[in-house]
Structure 1
Amino acid sequence: MEFPKIGNKAPAFSLKNQQGEYVKLADLKGKKVVLYFYPKAMTPGCTTQACGLRDTKAEYEAANVVVLGVSPDPYERLKKFEDKHELNFDLLSDEDHAVADKYGVWGLKKFMGREFMGIHRVTFIIDEQGRLAHIMPKVKTKSHHDDVLALITESGS
Structure 2
Amino acid sequence: MALKVGDHAPEFSLPDTNGNIVTLSSLKGSRVVLYFYPRDNTPGCTKEACGFRDNYAQFQAKNTLIFGVSTDDAKSHQKFTQKFDLPFPLLTDADGQVATAYESYGLKKFMGKEYVGVFRNTFVIDTEGNIEKIYLGVKAELHPAQVLADI
TM-score of the two chains, using structure 2 as the length reference = 0.97
SS of structure 2 residue aligned to 1:9: coil
Query: What residue is the counterpart of 2:131 in the other structure?
Result: 132
Tell me the secondary structure at the aligned position of residue 3 of structure 2.
coil
CA distance in 1 between partners of 2:7 and 2:132 (Å): 8
Give the Cα–Cα distance (whole angstroms) in 1 for the partners of residues 5 and 80 of structure 2: 31
The aligned counterpart of 1:35 is: 34
Partner of 1:55: 54
Q: Which residue of 2 aligns with 1:94?
A: 93
SS of the residue corresponding to residue 36 of structure 1 reads strand
**What's the secondary structure of 2:87's corresponding residue?**
coil
User: Helix, strand or coil: the match of 1:70?
Assistant: strand
Q: Is the partner of 1:20 in helix, strand or coil?
A: coil
1:68 alignment counterpart: 67
Give the aligned residue type for 1:62: A
TM-superposed CA distance for 1:138, in Å, is: 2.9
Q: 1:26 maps to what in 2?
A: 25
Amino acid at match of 1:25: L
Q: Provide the residue aligned with 2:150 in structure 1.
A: 151
Residue aligning to 2:110? 111
With normalisation by structure 1, the TM-score equals 0.94
CA contact (8 A) 1:73 1:94 kept: yes
CA distance in structure 2 between the aligned counterparts of 1:61 and 1:132, rounded to whole angstroms: 19
Tell me the amino acid that sits aligned with residue 112 of structure 1: M
CA distance in 2, matches of 1:13, 1:29: 13
Question: Could you say what secondary structure the match of 2:49 adopts?
Answer: helix
Runs of 4+ in 1 over 2 A off after TM superposition: none
Cα distance in 2 for residues equivalent to 1:10 and 1:51:
25
User: CA deviation digits over 1:45-88, x for unaligned, max 9?
Assistant: 00010001001111000111000000000111101100111110
Aligned residues: 151
Residue ranges of structure 2 left out of the alignment (5+ in a row): none
Deviations 1:24-56 (A, max 9, x none): 111111110000000001111000100010011
User: Which amino acid in 1 is paired with 2:122?
Assistant: T
SS in structure 1 at match of 2:47: helix
SS at match of 1:84: helix
Unaligned stretches of 5+ in structure 1?
Answer: 153-157
Partners of 1:43 and 1:3 lie apart in 2 by 28
Q: 2-side partners of 1:135 and 1:83: how far apart?
A: 28
Deviation at 1:140, TM superposition (A): 1.1
Counterpart of 2:114, as a letter, is E
